[in-house]
Copies of this chain bind each other. A is one copy, B any other.
Amino acid sequence: MHEKLVYFDQRDRPAKVESGTLVLEAARQIGIDIQQPCGGQGRCGRCIVHVEEGRVRRRSSLRISPADQEKGYALACQSVIEENARISIPEQESIERRLVTTIKAREVALPAGYLPAQSQSLKRITLKLSPPSLDDQTDDWSRLQQALRSQADIQLEDIPLALLKKLGGVVREGDWQVSAVIEIPSPDQPQANRLVDVLPGQIPEDQPLWGLAVDIGTTTVSVWLVDLASGRVKAQTAEYNGQIKRGEDVISRIIYASKNDNHLEMQTLVVDTINQLTATACKRINADPSQIYKAVVAGNSTMIHMLLGLPAESIRLSPFITTANFPPVVAAGELGLNLNTLARVDCLPGVASYVGADITAGVLSSGMEHTSKTTLFMDIGTNGEIVFGSKEWLVTCACSAGPAFEGAGVLHGMRATAGAIEEVWVHTNTLEPTLRVIGNKKPRGLCGSGLISLMAEMFVTGLVDKSGNINLDANTPRVRQRENKREYVLVWADDSGIDQDIVITEVDIDNLMRAKAAVYAGFTVMAERVGLSMGDIEQVMIGGAFGQYINTEKAIQIGLLPDMPWDSFHFLGNTAVQGAYLALIDLQARQRVNLNAAKMTYIELSADNSFFEAFTSAMFLPHTDMSLFPSIAAKNPSAVQV
């Protein structure tokens, strides 16, 4: 086949590709990385390019108007090269670096009554070996085993080859005094003990013993650097997951990863993100990454699969099966993590394809496993996972909330970065909005909390009715109809940071209603399944980064959260990384995560007949059954009539 030459932007060097090559692969060949927020499905329209010379063959042009197609616009993930071409790439939405300052300052309290010596799974022990002689020719490894038995009551059966290779040098360099780093994951199972490192001589007691708590969020990865000797968090970093450019939600990423050998790229992207965060954390406090001996990782099942390099395709397809809910502990070196090569990487267990280790970690850190109160735990982010129960029982389900609350699927949705509108107030009479914007910037769009706030305000002021229809009779120029679609203008072009009106459309509202209805339907189905009603819920615990910014009142107004007194709600922040941290510093806590995961009864909503009915009932603001929302009914009696 004849090679085609493709010139991109101002680059002098063309890509040389065979006919039939995707535009984005041609671009990658010369080092241009075109983002694929939908994972290359041709759905999001955000990999649009302009073909200036030559022609490409379009498999699909979703989201590109016929007029724009005529002008040469095409989707890089859906168009293939068939002749020489010159292509320009419009500026893409850049993935901004998040500021980590707020996280940096936070103090993390140790669990009440925490005693490192009784809780640590990783220990560093100094041993004095008797030097060998012609009368005692015991081999080095047996000598170390004997010293561990007699001086530390630790039985070790096995030694990694990498440590055996250096053992002879280490014992002699330390003049027969050595420090051994040992993982003791369970005091009852001596055969599970693992030697992680041997170092010459004695290490000062006050020298930290490093561990890492990691949460791999679909959007954000968080890393805490922990001194395991004291249990103290010494540095915290967070950053966007490097996989974002290959899909904004897990489904898009699975689709992307399933093509060719892309799962290797996905693994590299998340490993690189963790490595960068670890390096930053280490640099801040002058720690050596090669002395990090353990990592405990939380994350949803797809993220854990991708970290381990496991294919995730079966997670996406019915009947939604993971490769492993309880992944094996692996060595950092096997994954390419820049910790000590032999550092044990312990991925917490999940329960199902869509109730992962982020949730089991969240349950641990929420403490709901200890409470006698009937508790609703939820983590609403890209997906919505819910756990219902108490110390006696736990049920869980996942709602396909979709990424609406993270700003995707909404025309002017965006992530919670500078320029995002995070809170809206609409004046009852003038219907004029007042905004709070993140950072000192002109508004550029709405993040999740802004969307909830805006919906609630529009509902309360009558700008939308209970079915989510925008009221065209409202007395404001901000309500209008364009191309048969109704919308409300939140920011006029002159005041916006994007040189166009920032609006919310009926389509956006419908997407948001679907998201909130899915979550609420999850609550009701779970409650029904265990024979309880929503009124039996005694407290609500909300985890996830997004949960931190929800305005409870407004979330109740739109029917996302159940109608309960505000002091029944507890916002816990990133419960996934907190849970990973607890499991890292406390082996009893680590064991409880396994017990909890085994105990959690998973309800597959897609197989549940009552779910569709519950979802339909929740597709109103706040709900069809207003008796579930007495506080709203009292304020806004009109909403009672359906």
Contact = CB atoms under 8 A, between A and B. Distances in A.
A352 B137 contact: yes
A290 interface: no
A111 interface: no
B323 A164 contact: yes
B137 A319 contact: yes
Interface in A140-160: 140-142, 158-160
A58 to B, nearest CB: 32
A161 interface: yes
Nearest to A325: B139
Of A138, A161, A604, chain B has the most CB atoms within 10 Å of the CB of: A161
Contacts of A158: 328
Given A137-B319, A142-B325, A309 B165 contact: yes
B318 A134 contact: yes
Contacts of A327: 164
Contact of A328 (B139, B159, B169, B334): B159
B319 A140 contact: no
Interface string A332-362: 0010000000000000000011000000000
A168 B328 contact: no
What is the interface residue range for chain A against chain B? 35 or more
B607 A135 contact: yes
Interface string A582-621: 0000000000000000000010101100000000000000
A460 to B, nearest CB: 40
A286 interface: no
A323 B140 contact: yes
Nearest to A334: B161
A160 B606 CA distance: 33
A142 B326 contact: yes
A330 interface: yes
A627 interface: no
Q: Closest 3 interchain pairs by CB? A: A134-B607, A141-B324, A139-B322
21 contacts: A134-B604, A137-B352, A138-B321, A140-B314, A140-B323, A141-B325, A141-B326, A142-B326, A158-B328, A159-B324, A161-B308, A164-B324, A164-B328, A165-B309, A165-B311, A167-B323, A168-B313, A168-B321, A168-B323, A172-B314, A189-B191
